Chain A
Amino acid sequence: MIASARTLSPDARQPVPSPVGGPYPMGLMALLTTVGMLFAAFTAALLVRRTGGDWTPVRLPRVVVFSTTCIVLSSIAVEVARAWLRRGMLADSVNWLAGSGLLGMLFLGGQVVAWRHLALRGVFLPSSPHAAFFYMLSATHAAHIVGGLGAIAWTLNRLRRGAYSPERHAGFTHAAVFWHFVGAVWLYLLILLIAF
């Protein structure tokens, strides 16, 4: 569906490494750190709040199985897209990346359905502390997924315009790393919410 005949040009917009600066994308690392600290703070809050005496776990809606599957598949799709790019197969790369974005949107849809299901069961934000954490954590996480989808859209656009080459595609890699990270955060949150 997308022009595949486009030739790959060197990624002229890649940040040029400074003469002594390391190759590590420190800005990205710092971003992951600060997002990680946010969910660490929420975790600490959950562990404290759990001892409050009124902690009754809420059964999570089954649709989270669907959304979790989507986000895992989406991460895999990003890696497949990167693999195609490394082989110089632009059209396949574009398709897989678009697919991963689609899966990410399905994940978001799944989360909305999960909120709807809980609400239909009469479980709202103030119903119980566990429910409050579920709503709050999944919504905060969803905001980061939206950011990740933005990064994927941006990358997809540049990929289609031929901005990445098999050798130079750091921007693509950074978006992928962020996407895997927010995916992993979801798995972590799910375990946290099921375990307690």
Chain B
Amino acid sequence: MTTSPAPQAPRFPAPGHAAPAHAPAEVHAHHGPQSFWTRYVFSTDHKTIAKQYLFTAAFMSIFAVGWSMLIRLQLAYPHNTWPILSSLFPGLYQDGVLLPERYLSLTTMHGTVMVFFVISLALVSGFGNFIIPLQVGAHDMAYPFLNALSYWTIVPACLLMMVSFFVPDGAASAGWTAYPPLSALAEAGSGLGQTIWLLAMAPFIASFTMGGLNFVATILNMRTRGMSLMRMPLTIWTLFYASVLGILTFPALTAAAIMLLLDRLGGTSFFLPAGLIVSGQVLPHQGGTPLLFQHLFWFLGHPEVYVLALPAIGIAFDVLAAFGRRPSFGYRNTVWSILAVSALGMIAWGHHMFTSGMNPYLGEYFSIVTVLITLPFSVIAINLVASLWRAEIRLHTPMLFALGLIAAIGVGGLGGLWLGTATSDMYLQDSYFVVGHFHFMIGVVTGFGIFAGTYYWFPKMFGRMMNETLGRVHFWLTTLGTFAAFMGMHFLGMGGYLRRIYDPTTYRYAQHQPLNVFISYALLLAALGQVLFAVNLFWSLFRGKRAGANPWDATTLEWTTESPAGHNNWETLPTVSRGPYEYRTDNAPAGFHPQGEVEAAG
């Protein structure tokens, strides 16, 4: 059934575009953007903006991975000198030795850039922008101009973050969590870099908020005919909840950042208690409490991990269905579980603060809520696994990464149980157990989501397939390296080894040093694997096999338009008549029913 849907006008034609007086039906008559600048640079096309986000994230990830390699080098060989690094990075190394303060800058910037400028950008802004209009059946995002604006707001944020390495006293070094008093007091060693860090977070938050508004409006208002909520692919559901979480919780970080900035520069004492003594000097601050910052930060911080993890899980659901040739298991349960995880995730933040000195009864509450989250979270994980039940698995690269993602959720989630229980977390807090846990979750799960999405949608983005062989090698190197390293970190943490330690041999019982060396090599392997990914990306851009409209025989709407998807996505919007994952259903000629059909143009 292909009744002609009412064509949609692009919502807000570009400014300077005289308001046409004719009927909306004519407005979308195609006029692909003309000049190079409007087409590739200041484009308002969601697909171009998505690619801009993805390449920006890829660019930032080169630095973030590079910094982590320097961290691992230091942890594996704390007493060696590296003269060559002194000449390469004179700000970080002196006489071949990494400066201890700069070690902290490296961990701080690695965490910050990875969380906010790589994973958020790639997974949420990048894939979100690309796939939302294509999967809900819209010509573009609800507010294309706002969309372009949000990308161009992120650029100065990235530049500011990078510049902060070159200011006196180096980049921020108070951790990605930026806890005061350290982050608030220049006297205590947080210099201009910390101020720049705070100033760079401002455009990031503004941009991410604009993006979130766009996502919510597009998903709720712009779905094509027949695309009811319960027919939306799970990628859309997860991006929707990720956006809602961002809209609800990022303001807390904004408020915290404003107050921290005022404490740093304005002489206020929001977060600074009385009696602080730095280098023998009593500071004039009084009455503030650093705990307030921690509460505000984690009110964002915990939901933020779901902002990152959920879209990766959504992509995995799409990929598992398409490459398992069966409907996603328990679609409705998954949808409600995502809601439950998001809602509970907003009231569980205190599990990051069990040892901070907050009221133990409050701690118990946070403990209970945290463990409660594992219920809906397990439903999601079980549905991922059960989506393999009686599947006819096609083991292409996207599928490999989706399977790896399930494994990572298993390991990371299991570790979360010990961390969420206040009694065991007292011991594990701030140890490498936590580092291992969250690298499984926001390192491997999200990373694999990004890779699965890239291999899966590359043909839709660029009209060519990525190379399978390179993809498989990339998968195995990444999996072996990261799983070995992050599991090893769990053991380090159980042995009592704390995070953010410059010289691990300061422990008198240094039995963990061999494990540290092993982890460093494992991560080197994983990092080298990413070179293959980069090679594959560029090789396939120019040399990849040409892809048809639907190279994977997948059902969702994005596969009903040509590859690469053209300007406006479709001439006339498709009409949806089914659920998102109708594979191997009865009487389907090709073994699957596309979710929607497009009326022939003309």
Chain A residues proximal to chain B, CB less than 8 Å: 9-10, 12-13, 15-22, 24-27, 30-31, 33-35, 37-38, 40-42, 44-45, 48-49, 52-55, 125-126, 129, 132, 136, 140, 161, 163
Contacts and interface: CB of A to CB of B under 8 A. Distances in A.
A13 B19 CA distance: 6
A38 B268 contact: no
Contacts of B254: 38, 41
A24 B8 CA distance: 17
Nearest to B228: A20
A48 B292 contact: yes
Contact of A13 (B12, B217, B250): B12
Interface of B: 5-6, 8-9, 11-13, 19-22, 24, 27, 138, 142-143, 209, 212-214, 216-217, 220-228, 243-244, 247-252, 254-256, 258-259, 262, 266-270, 286-289, 292, 295-296, 299, 573
A25 B251 CA distance: 21
A15 B12 contact: yes
Given A20-B227, A41-B256, A129-B268, 20 more contacts: A12-B19, A13-B12, A17-B221, A19-B6, A19-B573, A27-B143, A30-B216, A30-B217, A30-B243, A34-B247, A41-B299, A44-B296, A45-B270, A48-B289, A49-B270, A52-B288, A53-B287, A125-B266, A161-B19, A163-B19
A12 B21 contact: yes
Contacts of B9: 16
A129 B262 CA distance: 12
Nearest to B273: A52
A174 B19 CA distance: 19
Contacts, number: 146
Given A12-B20, A30-B216, A34-B248, A20 B225 contact: yes
Contacts of B267: 125-126
Nearest to B267: A126
Closest 9 CB pairs of A and B: A52-B287, A27-B217, A126-B267, A21-B221, A38-B251, A54-B287, A41-B255, A19-B225, A37-B251
B12 A19 contact: no
A126 B266 contact: yes
Which of B138, B217, B286 is the most central at the interface, judged by chain A CB atoms within 10 Å of its CB?
A: B217
7 contacts: A10-B21, A16-B8, A18-B223, A19-B224, A37-B248, A48-B295, A53-B286
A46 to B, nearest CB: 10
Contacts of B220: 21-22, 24, 26
A124 B266 CA distance: 10
B223 A20 contact: yes
Nearest to B225: A19
Contacts of B228: 20
B287 A13 contact: no
A45 B5 contact: no
Nearest to B136: A18
Contact of A129 (B217, B243, B287): B287
A54 B213 CA distance: 40
Contacts of A26: 216-217, 220-221
Contacts of B256: 41, 45
B453 to A, nearest CB: 24
A30 B266 CA distance: 32
Contacts of A38: 251, 254-255
A24 B222 CA distance: 11
B248 A33 contact: yes
Contact of B226 (A9, A20, A40, A48): A20
A158 B210 CA distance: 23
Nearest to A17: B221
A33 B526 CA distance: 41
Given A18-B221, A45-B292, A55 B287 contact: yes
Contacts of B217: 25-27, 30
Nearest to B141: A27
Contacts of B216: 26-27, 30
Nearest to A10: B21
A17 B220 CA distance: 11
Contacts of B250: 34
B20 A18 contact: no
Contacts of B13: 13
A132 B247 contact: no
Given A18-B138, A21-B221, A125-B266, A41 B252 contact: yes
B287 A42 contact: no
Contacts of B248: 33-34, 37
A34 B205 CA distance: 11
Contacts of A54: 286-287
Contacts of A136: 258-259, 262, 268
A45 B255 contact: yes
A129 to B, nearest CB: 6
A10 B6 CA distance: 19
B268 A132 contact: yes
A19 B224 CA distance: 6
A29 B8 CA distance: 22
B142 A15 contact: yes
